[in-house]
Chain A
Amino acid sequence: MIGIERLSVVLGGVPVLRDVSLAIPPGRTLGLVGESGSGKSMTAFSVMRLLPQGARVTGEITLESRSLASLSERQMCAVRGAEIGMIFQEPMTALNPVRTIGDQVAETLLVHGAATRSEAQGVARERLARVGLSPDRFPLDRYPHELSGGQRQRVCIALAIALRPKLLIADEPTTALDVTTQAQILALLRELVREEGMSCLFITHDLAVVAEMADEIAVMQAGGVVEQGPTGTVLREKRHPYTRALFEASGHQPARTTRVEDAPLLEVRGAVRDYALKRVRFFGPRPAFRAVDGVSFALRRGESLGLVGESGCGKSTLTRAILGLEPLQGGEIRLDGAPVSPDMPPELRRRMQVVFQDPYGSFNPRHRVSRLLTEPFHLTGQPPDLDNRIAEALENVGLTASDAEKFPHEFSGGQRQRIAIARALIARPELIVLDEAVSALDVRVRAQILDLLADLQARFALSYLFIAHDLSVVRSVTDRVMVMRVGRIVEEGETEAVFSAPQDGYTRALLKAAPVLPAA
């Protein structure tokens, strides 16, 4: 039983948590939901007493009637890992790359003096088997880089539960994983909580995930809990306006008016993309990895076409080929009849623009917005009415002309994504490739950006190629959808038809794995 009473945290003079009170009985899961910056992770780190230096904490945290706040750092070290286990969002980086998985699981036992070195190895083997990594396929001497993301998250879970803690904190544990892997990890966590009788604090931004996982839900906004109660009740009643807003944004359906012409704008025929691998023998032939294997489709003018698939399926490789950034080894790509390749003319390049997932990473932080926006003009030369074009592009995406003089860090994540869209628009393209363009955004911001995209499509007769791993978003904004798996398109059709009656087994598995928000 873990109890949090009136927990408040001030960090650098700024209150980040206000009067948070929560309780989780053994064997139960509390889902902590909210947007980024709402204080979810801060709450977890307060419990772990791993807040950044200089944080001032008030309030009471009790684990089995023992107050954690009064423990010394040394005593707290004995609690972490033994009585409270924690897993994190990014399994790819959460493990030490230079130590074996067995070592890292056994270390939990060793630092707490709970076992001798050889006993710890045995327990590590048993715990790894418990989370689904059987010792014959995953011996203890494997290194993290030999495992997939989902397997690494299982290792993280194994080392968090190695000492059977009373509380397991899971901070966005499946956000970085594919839907099918996510479903497996969620099932594993549910089973562990039930069988080991742990309390579980499950942090997520995804209402659909929390609906599947949690017995109780606490909704956080700006450092405080605004609504709390049994999962079913909270999701049904949605008493607080913020809960309601989150819910509506999650299932948001932008109003779209599309005029799809019959003429294809983008045609991909039998596209093949190989990557050369390292030679097996010196002077031997170089083996190739076929990332895109005979993909054909057409995107019609004014259409929104979705492309879904799990990581490694070839989405990104196909995208780079479509943008003319990498050559094909077979087949062809045409934009409005003209061949697309790395040496295509700039004028053709101008007609096709792209918006990426990470607005932080795709801007040079030292350039002003005006310079960032006019980057596409390197292709075609600057137009005479440059300032007007900048102002127009910014106003089209809901920003103001005066934003041109600012730097990227002065904007929020959603505003930055608007700038990225403005940068695509300024070249007056016909096709915009949206590569996970809304995946990093909070639900309410995502809803706004989706509305903006729908509005722009109607005003400028744009075509979208919408690449995403989030099936519900694809469903709400595309006319047709393609499902990709190991380099091939396994299913293609009208979006509603594919989602309501999937023909391919893989599509069915994907849809089944995706957590669904209970109908309001």
Chain B
Amino acid sequence: MLRYAATRLISLTLSLVAASLVIFAVVEVIPGDPAAYMLGLNAAPEAVAALREDLGLSGGLVERYLTWAGGMLTGDFGTSYTYRVPVADLVAARLWISLPLALYALALSTLLALPVGMLAAARRGRVTDYGIMGFTQLGIAVPNFWFAMLLVVLLAITYPIFPAGGFPGWDAGILPALRALTLPAVALALPQASILARVMRSALIETLSQDYIRTARAKGLTEGQAIRNHGMRNALIPVLTIIGLQFSFLLAGAIIIEKVFFLPGLGLLIFQGITQRDLVVVESVVMLLVFAVILVTFLVDLAYALVDPRLRHAR
């Protein structure tokens, strides 16, 4: 197990290095001068030169990469050109909304999807299954901002249980903050839960046709016991893969939902960074997201090994 974790950890580090090189290179290869690009067509040459100095664009390639990557490691992400504040502070503030929102949505989606998927698999081919499959189809087809607007109309306006938007900050207390995140989390979770429930269902049905389920039935287990004791853990592998992918998406892909609910999250930050040509912000946030994705992949890999002894024992 330790050996497996060590290999995964090495692969994680290498992925990070590779990703940082690619991101650095992309910013480098944008035609023309990043500083001129950021300032637009009509910028004064002096302003461009000043920004170049500011961005640390004057040194050699290797030196610039090392400064940038080294800064990242020590938490120095550079200074945003448009906001005139350290990117680290900008990101930290947004992360305090986006990360809890993503985790909240992921928890909702998983808690909803796994039992529903199991139920559909246990009742496969019957009315319950068809009903669940129909609803999940709808959940995938309808865009999440549409759910978001429905939720606002229903639960914020008609029955004002939750706020329609905005975020009071964690200083206002955990409960108000969670209340503000509930509707966006639900809107984000519904499509994800629909996908996850379908994956859970098909993974379970796949394992149910395996020989070891037949062995379990021959031992005297009921179908339900066979699913719980033998089907579930084997079906978890594809489910974990999807959960990993979903977390990455939820962290950065929530931009439309952030718009609908006026949440200043990471998605909005990166969007603004791109429209305002703030390459320092874009570079840093993209790197941060890549880090999050790779970290989640690493955790999913570890979870695989917990589920499947064959990976733990792999030589």
Task: List the interface of chain A (C-beta within 8 A of B).
Answer: 48, 50, 73-74, 77-82, 85-86, 88, 90, 93-99, 107-108, 111-112, 143, 145-146, 156, 159-160, 277-278, 282
B218 touches A77 (CB 8 A): no
Give the chain A neighbours of B230 by CB distance below 8 A.
Answer: 96, 99
A93 touches B212 (CB 8 A): yes
B225 touches A81 (CB 8 A): no
Q: Pick from B53-61, B186-194, B302-310 the stretch touching chain A.
A: B302-310
A159 touches B212 (CB 8 A): no
Give the chain A neighbours of B210 by CB distance below 8 A.
Answer: 93
* Distance between Cα atoms of A160 and B216 in the complex (Å): 10
* Distance between Cα atoms of A146 and B309 in the complex (Å): 10
| Cβ distance B247 to chain A, nearest Cβ, rounded Å | 23
B219 touches A97 (CB 8 A): no
Q: Which of B257-311 contact A (CB under 8 A)?
A: 307-310
| Cβ distance A222 to chain B, nearest Cβ, rounded Å | 25
Query: Does B221 have its Cβ within 8 Å of any Cβ on chain A?
Result: yes
| Cβ distance A170 to chain B, nearest Cβ, rounded Å | 11
Give the chain A neighbours of B225 by CB distance below 8 A.
Answer: 111
Q: Which of B192-222 contact A (CB under 8 A)?
A: 210-212, 214-222
* Distance between Cα atoms of A515 and B310 in the complex (Å): 35
Give the chain B neighbours of A77 by CB distance below 8 A.
Answer: 220-222
Give the chain B neighbours of A50 by CB distance below 8 A.
Answer: 214, 217-218
* Distance between Cα atoms of A93 and B207 in the complex (Å): 11
Among residues of B, the one whose C-beta sits closest to the C-beta of A279 is B315
A-B contact pairs, 7 of them (CB 8 A): A80-B220, A82-B220, A88-B214, A88-B218, A98-B309, A107-B216, A107-B221
Residues A96 and B212 in contact in the complex (CB < 8 Å), given A50-B217, A81-B220:
yes
| Cβ distance A341 to chain B, nearest Cβ, rounded Å | 30
Residues A94 and B313 in contact in the complex (CB < 8 Å), given A78-B220, A81-B219, A111-B225:
no
B308 touches A160 (CB 8 A): no
B221 touches A94 (CB 8 A): no
B211 touches A90 (CB 8 A): yes
A97 touches B310 (CB 8 A): yes
A107 touches B234 (CB 8 A): no
Give the chain A neighbours of B137 by CB distance below 8 A.
Answer: none
A107 touches B219 (CB 8 A): yes
* Distance between Cα atoms of A282 and B225 in the complex (Å): 43
Give the chain B neighbours of A97 by CB distance below 8 A.
Answer: 212, 234, 308-310
A79 touches B220 (CB 8 A): yes
| Cβ distance A452 to chain B, nearest Cβ, rounded Å | 33
| Cβ distance A7 to chain B, nearest Cβ, rounded Å | 19
* Distance between Cα atoms of A111 and B224 in the complex (Å): 12
A143 touches B218 (CB 8 A): no
Give the chain B neighbours of A74 by CB distance below 8 A.
Answer: 222
Size band of the interface chain B makes with A: 20 to 34
| Cβ distance B152 to chain A, nearest Cβ, rounded Å | 44
* Distance between Cα atoms of A42 and B310 in the complex (Å): 33
Most buried by A among B216, B220, B225, B229: B220
A145 touches B234 (CB 8 A): no
Query: Does B233 have its Cβ within 8 Å of any Cβ on chain A?
Result: yes
A159 touches B219 (CB 8 A): yes
A146 touches B219 (CB 8 A): no
| Cβ distance A103 to chain B, nearest Cβ, rounded Å | 9
Give the chain B neighbours of A278 by CB distance below 8 A.
Answer: 314-315
B309 touches A145 (CB 8 A): yes
* Interface contacts beyond A93-B210, A99-B233, A159-B219: sample of 4 additional A-B pairs, CB < 8 Å, sorted by A: A97-B212, A98-B309, A108-B220, A145-B313
Among residues of B, the one whose C-beta sits closest to the C-beta of A81 is B220
Give the chain A neighbours of B310 by CB distance below 8 A.
Answer: 97, 143, 145
Give the chain A neighbours of B216 by CB distance below 8 A.
Answer: 96, 107
Among residues of A, the one whose C-beta sits closest to the C-beta of B306 is A98
| Cβ distance A186 to chain B, nearest Cβ, rounded Å | 20
| Cβ distance A49 to chain B, nearest Cβ, rounded Å | 10
Task: List the interface of chain B (C-beta within 8 A of A).
Answer: 10, 210-212, 214-222, 225, 229-230, 233-234, 307-310, 313-315
* Distance between Cα atoms of A460 and B308 in the complex (Å): 52
* Distance between Cα atoms of A431 and B10 in the complex (Å): 49
A160 touches B218 (CB 8 A): yes
| Cβ distance A100 to chain B, nearest Cβ, rounded Å | 8
Among residues of A, the one whose C-beta sits closest to the C-beta of B215 is A94
Among residues of B, the one whose C-beta sits closest to the C-beta of A105 is B219
B220 touches A111 (CB 8 A): yes
Give the chain B neighbours of A146 by CB distance below 8 A.
Answer: 313
Q: Which of B215, B218, B308, B315 is within 8 Å of A95, CB to CB?
A: B215
Among residues of B, the one whose C-beta sits closest to the C-beta of A103 is B229
* Distance between Cα atoms of A107 and B230 in the complex (Å): 11
A96 touches B219 (CB 8 A): no
Give the chain A neighbours of B219 by CB distance below 8 A.
Answer: 80-81, 107-108, 111, 159-160
Most buried by B among A82, A97, A156, A160: A97
Give the chain B neighbours of A159 by CB distance below 8 A.
Answer: 215, 219
* Distance between Cα atoms of A160 and B309 in the complex (Å): 24
B234 touches A96 (CB 8 A): yes
* Distance between Cα atoms of A278 and B3 in the complex (Å): 12
A86 touches B218 (CB 8 A): yes
Among residues of A, the one whose C-beta sits closest to the C-beta of B214 is A88
Q: Which of B10, B211, B218 is within 8 Å of A80, CB to CB?
A: B218
Q: Which of A73, A81, A112 is within 8 Å of B218, CB to CB?
A: A81
* Distance between Cα atoms of A73 and B313 in the complex (Å): 39
B221 touches A88 (CB 8 A): no
| Cβ distance B14 to chain A, nearest Cβ, rounded Å | 13
Q: Which of A82, A88, A112 is within 8 Å of B215, CB to CB?
A: A88
| Cβ distance B158 to chain A, nearest Cβ, rounded Å | 45
Among residues of B, the one whose C-beta sits closest to the C-beta of A156 is B215
* Distance between Cα atoms of A21 and B272 in the complex (Å): 79
B233 touches A98 (CB 8 A): yes
* Distance between Cα atoms of A48 and B307 in the complex (Å): 31
B212 touches A94 (CB 8 A): yes
* Distance between Cα atoms of A48 and B215 in the complex (Å): 12
Residues A95 and B221 in contact in the complex (CB < 8 Å), given A107-B229, A143-B309, A145-B313:
no
Give the chain B neighbours of A282 by CB distance below 8 A.
Answer: 10
| Cβ distance A325 to chain B, nearest Cβ, rounded Å | 25
A48 touches B218 (CB 8 A): yes
Give the chain A neighbours of B212 by CB distance below 8 A.
Answer: 93-97
Give the chain B neighbours of A112 by CB distance below 8 A.
Answer: 220
* Distance between Cα atoms of A487 and B315 in the complex (Å): 22
* Distance between Cα atoms of A499 and B220 in the complex (Å): 46
* Distance between Cα atoms of A108 and B222 in the complex (Å): 12
Q: Which of A82, A88, A107 is within 8 Å of B211, CB to CB?
A: A88
Give the chain A neighbours of B313 by CB distance below 8 A.
Answer: 143, 145-146
Give the chain A neighbours of B214 by CB distance below 8 A.
Answer: 50, 88, 94
| Cβ distance B131 to chain A, nearest Cβ, rounded Å | 19
Among residues of A, the one whose C-beta sits closest to the C-beta of B10 is A282
* Distance between Cα atoms of A97 and B225 in the complex (Å): 17
| Cβ distance A283 to chain B, nearest Cβ, rounded Å | 11
| Cβ distance A359 to chain B, nearest Cβ, rounded Å | 22
* Distance between Cα atoms of A345 and B234 in the complex (Å): 46
Question: 4 tightest CB-CB pairs across the interface, nearest first?
Answer: A81-B220, A81-B219, A93-B211, A86-B218
Give the chain B neighbours of A78 by CB distance below 8 A.
Answer: 220
| Cβ distance A455 to chain B, nearest Cβ, rounded Å | 39
